[in-house]
Amino acid sequence: MSRFTQPRHDWTPDEVEALFDLPFTELVFQAALVHRQWFDPAEVQISRLLSVKTGGCPENCGYCSQSSHFKTGVKATKLMEVEAVIAEAAAAKAGGAQRFCMGAAWRDLKDRDLPRVSAMISGVKALGLETCVTLGMLEPHQARALKDAGLDYYNHNLDTGPDYYETVVTTRTYQDRLDTLTAVRDAGVSTCCGGIVGMGETRRDRAGLLHALATLPAHPDSLPINDLMPVKGAPLGDSTPLDPLEFVRTIAVARIVCPKAVVRLSAGRDHMSREQQALCFLAGANSMFVGGKLLTTKNPELDDDARLFADLGLRPMGEAAGESLPLFLEPALN
Rounded to an integer, what distance in angstroms lies between the CA atom of residue 294 and that of residue 251?
A: 20
Tell the burial category of 162 from Cβ atoms under 10 Å away from its Cβ (0-12, 13-18, 19+): middle
Q: Does 195 bind ligand SF4 (CB under 6 A)?
A: no
**What is the number of the residue whose Cβ is closest to ligand DTB?**
294
Please state, in angstroms and as integers, the Cα–Cα distance from residue 288 to each residue in 7, 108, 136, following that order.
23, 26, 21
By the 8 A CB rule, do 76 and 106 touch? Answer: no
Residue 57 found at the interface with ligand SF4 (CB under 6 A): yes
Active-site residue, selected from the candidate residues 264, 269, 280, 315:
264
- The span from the CA of 9 to the CA of 28, in Å, is 21
> What, of ligand SF4, ligand DTB, ligand SAM, none, does residue 156 touch, CB below 5 to 8 Å by kind?
ligand SAM
Angstrom distance (rounded) from CA 110 to CA 97: 29
Selected from 61, 193, 214, 225, the binder of ligand SF4 by CB under 6 A is 61
> Does residue 57 have an active-site annotation?
yes
226 binds ligand SAM (CB under 6 A): yes
Told to judge if 280 belongs to the known catalytic residues of this protein, a careful annotator would answer: no
Kindly list the distances between the CA atom of residue 117 and the CA atoms of 80, 107, 133, 187, 193, in Å, as whole numbers in the listed order.
Answer: 9, 15, 9, 17, 20
Q: What is the DSSP letter of 236?
A: T
Phi, psi torsion values for 116, nearest 5 degrees: -70, -40
Residues at the site binding ligand DTB, with contacts judged by CB under 6 A = 49, 65, 101, 103, 134, 155, 157, 194, 224, 226, 229, 266-267, 294-297
Q: Is 8 a catalytic residue?
A: no
156 contacts ligand SAM (rule: CB under 6 A):
yes
Backbone angles phi, psi at 225, to 5 degrees: -110, 115
The answer to whether 101 is a known catalytic residue is yes
Sign, Cα dihedral of 24, 247, 29, 279: negative
294 touches ligand SF4 by CB under 6 A:
no
The yes or no reply on residue 136 touching ligand SAM (CB under 6 A) is yes
Q: How far is the CB of 322 from ligand DTB (least distance, A)?
A: 31
Distance CA 98, CA 284 (A): 19
Catalytic residue among 57, 193, 258, 280: 57
Residue 268 in contact with residue 285, Cβ under 8 Å? no
Residues 42 to 71 in contact with ligand SAM, rule: CB under 6 A: 63-64
Instruction: List the beta strands (DSSP E) in 135-267.
Output: 153-155, 190-192, 195-197, 222-227, 262-265
Between 107 and 144, CB nearer to ligand SF4: 107
Asked if residue 132 binds ligand SAM (CB under 6 A), the reply is no
| Site membership for ligand SF4, residue 230 (CB under 6 A) | no
Least CB distance to ligand DTB at residue 313 (A): 26
State which residue, 49 or 189, has the beta carbon closest to ligand DTB. Answer: 49
Task: Provide the strand spans (E) within 85-211.
Answer: 99-104, 130-134, 153-155, 190-192, 195-197
Tell whether residue 106 is a contact of ligand SAM (CB under 6 A): yes
Q: Is 159 in the site for ligand SAM (CB under 6 A)?
A: yes
Pick from ligand SF4, ligand SAM, ligand DTB, none: which does 228 bind, CB < 5 to 8 A by kind? ligand SAM
Question: Of the listed 177, 185, 192, 280, which one is catalytic?
Answer: 192
Residues that bind ligand SF4 (CB under 6 A): 57, 59, 61, 64, 66-67, 105, 107, 136
Residues that bind ligand SAM (CB under 6 A): 63-64, 103, 105-106, 134, 136, 156-157, 159, 196, 226, 228-229, 231, 267, 295
Which of the residues are catalytic?
Answer: 57, 61, 64, 101, 132, 192, 264
